């Protein structure tokens, strides 16, 4: 189960946009997983179960508005740009402007499209798995994905 820690933290960070909030949500998810295991309700597929619980927890956080307080708070140490001025190997391929535009376009997506894109492309899960995790039909997942892809690609085209 620990193998899922990094994956879930990345997913929650992507959905919430706040590292501290993402960390809190992941702790919450693992607590629920521990409780489920203690109560003998361990799922057959831990990966799918953890993903679904994490997405729901992120959704609850965003709905509660608590994440807004954290985002408006003064800078965390994690938020400070403690990176080298020179571009790293991963940064060479994409310009700073393109990176900003892609992130802004992703944040501009509706919440559901963000979730679908993150699970389908970042988590590399199948359409049916995404549908199960989000409680949607596969057709709905495809439509959300189509809109998200179109929006993000336009943002990338604008950067070129």
Partner 1 sequence: MSACLSDDALARLHADLASISERAHLATCAACSGRSRQLRRDLELITAVLRDTREPLTRVAPARRRWLPAAVGLSAAAVALLVWVEVAVWRAVTPVPPTMQPQEVAAILSDVSASLFSVSGDPVPGAADDGPLSLESMAREVDSSLTGGEP
Residues that bind partner 1 (CB under 8 A): 10, 14, 17, 68, 79, 81, 83, 90-91, 93-94, 98-100, 102-104, 106-108, 118, 121-122, 127, 142-143, 145-146, 149-150, 152-153, 156
Min dist CB 129 to partner 1, Å, is 14
Give the CA distances from residue 105 to residues 14, 136, 154, in Å, rounded to whole numbers and listed in that order.
13, 23, 9
Nearest residue to 107 via CA among 94, 93, 92, 118 = 118
Min dist CB 61 to partner 1, Å, is 13
Query: 34 or 100: whose CB is closer to partner 1?
Result: 100
Query: 6 or 135: whose CB is closer to partner 1?
Result: 6
Give the CA distances from residue 49 to residues 53, 76, 123, in Å, rounded to whole numbers and listed in that order.
6, 31, 14
- Among all chains, which residue has been given the structure tokens 């998200």? 148
Min dist CB 75 to partner 1, Å, is 8
Q: For 85, phi and psi rounded to 5 degrees?
A: -70, -30
């Amino acid at each position: 189960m620990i193998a899922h820690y990094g994956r879930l933290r990345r997913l929650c960070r992507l959905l919430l946009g706040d590292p501290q909030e993402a960390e809190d949500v992941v702790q919450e998810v693992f607590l629920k997983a521990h409780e489920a295991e203690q109560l003998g309700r361990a799922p057959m597929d831990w990966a799918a179960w953890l993903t679904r619980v994490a997405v729901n927890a992120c959704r609850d956080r965003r709905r509660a508005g608590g994440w807004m307080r954290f985002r408006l708070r003064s800078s965390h140490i994690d938020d400070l740009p403690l990176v080298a001025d020179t571009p790293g190997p991963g940064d060479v391929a994409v310009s700073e402007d393109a990176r900003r535009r892609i992130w802004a376009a992703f944040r501009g997506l509706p919440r559901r499209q963000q979730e679908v894109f993150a699970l389908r492309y970042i988590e590399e899960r199948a359409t049916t798995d995404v549908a199960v995790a989000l409680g949607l039909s596969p057709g709905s997942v495809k439509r959300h994905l189509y809109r998200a892809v179109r929006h993000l690609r336009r943002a990338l085209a604008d950067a070129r």
